[in-house]
A and B are shown apart, each in its own frame.
Chain A
Amino acid sequence: MDAKTENQRGWLYVLPVVVLVACNAVIPLMAVVNYSVQETFGNNVFFFEGVKWFQQVLHSERFHAALLRQLAFTGIILVIEVPLGVAIALAMPRRGPWVSVCLVLMALPLLIPWNVVGAMWNIFALPDIGMLGRLLNGLGLNYNYTQQPFSAWATLIAMDVWHWTSLVVLLAYAGLSSIPDAYYQAAKIDGASSWAVFRYIQLPKMKRVLTIAVLLRFMDSFNIYTEPFVLTGGGPGNSTTLLSIDLVKIALGQFDLGPAAAMSIIYFLIILALSWIFYTVMTRGEGQS
């Protein structure tokens, strides 16, 4: 790749993007910061409160529990979706008419509105009239996601795997299809095992797209709101109340703007910090190659 030229005119070209995103991001974020340091008793009268809300949120059991559930959820779906997605991409045909069919069918879940995904699984898994619920109970399992926390979690994870594994498949498949045939032929001549082909040819080629897949899945699963809200509404009890659901409950349900805003900022900072780590790892890998 050529070296870039030093040219301050670049600012002119990015200006529209900066203006649009800044209006959308900075102004609302400032409003959130504003709320997070103030107390109100109604009538639009606000008092400066400093870091009170931040301390309250950071010490609240409820926040810790929601954060823990969020980390567990994100961890579980990453551990399932990434290896599964890679395995499926490896087993997919490289060329021929089936490639298009596979890609279109696999991408379908990605294009369904999130609340439709939630509603669909909600009905699909109902123990009395849903196909999945009937099937599992018919196999002798005691399954009812509206009452048992374990069933609710299993359904939530199955739904996310159903919804998002295809993204990992598409990315991994794209990485694989950028490998020239000559590599495979060379490996065949050398008598390399299929594990060696995977470890030394396919995995390095997929490394960049996989980092991006992990990054995107991390960000989106950490922000997930609509699907679990429609599926379980955070229940039974609070067992599937993830961070976003808890935040909306506090902000729009109880209208506790101060704590909700403080929680928003802490939440955002956690995502930012973790994403920054991924981003640094990603760009460092690029620098080496």
Chain B
Amino acid sequence: MRRALPTLYILFLMLPIYWLVTMSFKPTTEILGSFTLWPQAFTLENYAKIFTDPTWYNGYVNSLIYVVINTVISVVVALPAAYAFSRYRFLGDKHLFFWLLTNRMAPAAVFALPFFELYSAVGLFDTHIAVALAHCLFNIPLAVWILEGFMSSVPKQLDETAYLDGYSFWRFFLRIFVPTIAAGIGVAAFFCFMFSWVELLLAKTLTSVAAKPIAATMTRTASSSGYELGLLAAAGTLTFIPGAVVIYFVRNYIAKGFALGRV
């Protein structure tokens, strides 16, 4: 009886996903013509189209490139900052921390147009780095927030002992401290990956052709060439995969990460 609620909830979660996945194996005529729970005329044509057409598979490559760049930048710059917030008191530290968090609250819709102007002005429009930098707006504050929580749970004696043993700051930080909070880095990287991967409004505003994300490719196809639902379903199904792979690797850290960190 106790397990009924989680089971029902997972069924509810899987229903639309099942629907989309089965649809991706149906030809468009079957989707539009009749209602079937299981593909009657099983086809791999939708997937074949995506893997052979560069405008489709480049979308995935573009998305993965800027997501990875963003994750690396966010975590690397957040590490020393989170250390400072967790270990030192300095002028305006609390205000600075709250100011960082306010950027996590900024609606992307507010920033879309100014971002377009800013990145066009510096000549970065339609590059992967532009999207990666723009996503730093909400991912850096999040990474700092998570990492600060992890670092605060590491006793200060660790730092003090290392300094007494004659370690310089950076040597201590890279050799001892970073490995100690590896789980936290994993969790922070996971959340940066996740929020960069799912965001579309800014990614779409800042790109046109060369760095166009897969999600934007999907919207264009849906509107221009009518209703190619099977193709759309296959493209959608493929967007699950990077997330599913990442979550499989960090599954044990997630629960722990939330408990230790502030998030």
Contacts and interface: CB of A to CB of B under 8 A. Distances in A.
Contact of B251 (A103, A115, A165): A103
B252 interface: yes
B77 A16 contact: yes
A4 interface: yes
Interface stretch (A21-29, A46-54, A143-151, A195-203): A21-29
B107 A267 contact: yes
Contacts of A123: 19-20, 23, 229, 232-233
B6 A88 contact: yes
A31 B117 contact: yes
A129 B32 CA distance: 7
Interface in A1-40: 1-2, 4-14, 16-18, 20-21, 23-25, 27-29, 31-32
Contacts of A120: 16-17, 19-20, 236
A214 B57 CA distance: 37
A112 B194 CA distance: 9
B200 A114 contact: yes
B87 interface: yes
Chain A interface helix/strand/loop/mixed: helix
A6 B243 contact: no
A238 interface: no
Given A10-B88, A219-B104, A244-B109, A131 B81 contact: no
Contact of A114 (B100, B118, B198, B248): B198
Contacts of B118: 27-28, 31
Nearest to B107: A223
B15 interface: yes
B164 interface: no
Interface stretch (B45-53, B129-137, B174-182): B129-137
A78 interface: no
Contacts, number: 276
B42 interface: no
Contact of A247 (B23, B110, B136): B110
A199 to B, nearest CB: 19
Interface string A167-185: 0011101110110000000
A17 B77 contact: yes
Contacts of B209: none
Nearest to B213: A113
Contact of A113 (B77, B137, B200): B200
Given A31-B114, A91-B3, A116-B215, A13 B83 contact: yes
A225 B198 contact: no
A252 B113 contact: yes
Central interface residue in A1, A13, A99, by most chain B CB within 10 Å: A13
Interface string A221-260: 0110110001000000000000110011001100001001
B35 to A, nearest CB: 6
B91 interface: yes
Interface residues of A, number: 95
B258 A14 contact: no
A174 B156 CA distance: 25
B27 interface: no
Interface string B109-122: 11111110110000
Central interface residue in B13, B78, B113, by most chain A CB within 10 Å: B113
A178 B214 CA distance: 39
A17 B140 contact: yes
A77 interface: no
A18 B96 contact: yes
Interface of B: 2-6, 9-10, 12-17, 19-20, 23, 31-32, 35, 37, 73, 77-78, 80-81, 83-91, 93, 96, 98, 100-115, 117-118, 133-134, 136-137, 140-141, 144, 152, 155-156, 194, 197-201, 214-215, 218-219, 222, 229, 232-233, 236, 239-240, 242-244, 246-248, 251-252, 254-259, 262-263
13 contacts: A10-B84, A10-B87, A17-B100, A20-B73, A21-B136, A88-B6, A92-B6, A109-B17, A113-B197, A123-B19, A132-B15, A162-B13, A268-B105
Interface of A: 1-2, 4-14, 16-18, 20-21, 23-25, 27-29, 31-32, 84, 87-88, 91-93, 99-100, 102-116, 119-121, 123-124, 129-132, 134, 162, 165-166, 169-171, 173-175, 177-178, 209, 212, 216, 219, 222-223, 225-226, 230, 243-244, 247-248, 251-252, 257, 260, 264, 267-268, 271-272, 275-276, 279
